[in-house]
Structure 1
Amino acid sequence: MFSGGEGAACAFATHLCDSVAKLRISTHVVTVSIGISRFNKTLSLTEIFKVADQGLYEAKRHGKNRYVLVS
């Protein structure tokens, strides 16, 4: 869980994607997909993680080494 504003979360996710993209394990390129959910007081923590998980799978569908912010 990230404690900070939406812009900071997206900047952190971008930094993670960029850092991971520079990694090489043997001849393999390493990538990361990230789902980010906005905090919503009306949702339980479980529901917030489900929303972030939806973002993760959307990021995977749209390519590698990216993040998706979901409302």
Structure 2
Amino acid sequence: MPQESMPGVKIPTSLLLSLGTIPVLAVLLGSKAVLQVMREVGEASEEIFRGDRLPILELETQNSEQVSERSGSSF
């Protein structure tokens, strides 16, 4: 005689499967949203670090003259 592990109310397998589908779909949709946000953040950070977005720095002419004197060439 088989013994039941949990006496009482039995829940049909199809109902458990239906209830388990909702979290799986939520994870799939959530991962798509996270992926899209990460792509947008990556593109935005790429724009920040582009050379044409950075300010033009004025280099000291004294440093460039010392380098040209050491190499033996002049501009």
In the superposition, the TM-score normalised over structure 2's length comes to 0.28
Higher RCO structure, 1 or 2 (CA under 8 Å, sep 6+) = 1
Structure that is richer in strand per residue: 1
In the superposition, the TM-score normalised over structure 1's length comes to 0.29
Tell me which structure has the larger Cα radius of gyration.
2
